[in-house]
Chains A and B, each alone.
Chain A
């Protein structure tokens, strides 16, 4: 288990309910694969520094969690397939 941090950007024009389900899906995915979530921080709507998929705004979610290194690739893949997620980044903390 290592300490990772994940930031993902959801489409800003989603309604409240779909934002919540999207965040919950990530949360359950991490927990189901043996991860421990330390903190979920919703930064909320932010202006993007450059447009992504013609969107100028995004809904930022920050997750601090412990995860097995071999499971990280699967997490990234799932986020990549999700069309509501504009961008994601997983960084292992030093």
Chain B
């Protein structure tokens, strides 16, 4: 149980326990792509962009996957919800396979 949790949160320091454990998950250097690129606007109308922030089941992807900072993750979440309301994104389910 605990093993799997550590691998999921590989970027989190766990009171020095981490050094003894062989790491299976190597975390990428994370930065917020919206902070580093000011021209990148979070737009709920852009389906191609918004579909990157939901997973196969239609859920909003967590920060540890999107790499967004807290501020921009809130904006992403809001945009996904707007896009869902006007049926650009699904509330549930895989819409890539259904659309093709």
Could you list which residues of chain A lie within 8 angstroms of chain B, going by C-beta atoms? 7, 9, 47-50, 52, 58, 60, 62, 87-89, 91
CA distance A48 to B25 in the complex (A): 38
If A7-B45, A49-B90 touch, whether A87 touches B85 (CB-CB below 8 Å) is: yes
Chief secondary structure at chain B's binding surface:
loop
Return the chain A residue nearest B44 by Cβ: A91
Complex Cα distance, B2 from A88, in Å, reads 46
Q: Is the CB of B87 within 8 A of A62?
A: no
Q: Are A9 and B82 in contact (CB under 8 A)?
A: no
- A87-B45 in contact (CB<8A): no
Q: Are A47 and B99 in contact (CB under 8 A)?
A: yes
Q: Please, which residue of chain A has its CB at the minimum distance from the CB of B88?
A: A49
Closest to A50 in B: B90
Is B91 an interface residue, CB under 8 A from the partner? yes
**CB-defined A-B contacts under 8 Å, sample of 17:** A7-B45, A7-B86, A9-B86, A9-B87, A47-B99, A49-B84, A49-B87, A49-B88, A49-B90, A50-B91, A50-B93, A58-B87, A60-B86, A62-B45, A87-B87, A89-B82, A89-B86
Cα A48 to Cα B82 with chains together (Å): 14
Residue B60, interface by CB 8 Å: no
Q: Does B6 contact A (CB under 8 A)?
A: no
Pairwise interchain contact B82-A50, C-beta atoms closer than 8 A: no
Query: Which residues of A are found within 8 Å of B93, using beta-carbon distances?
Result: 50
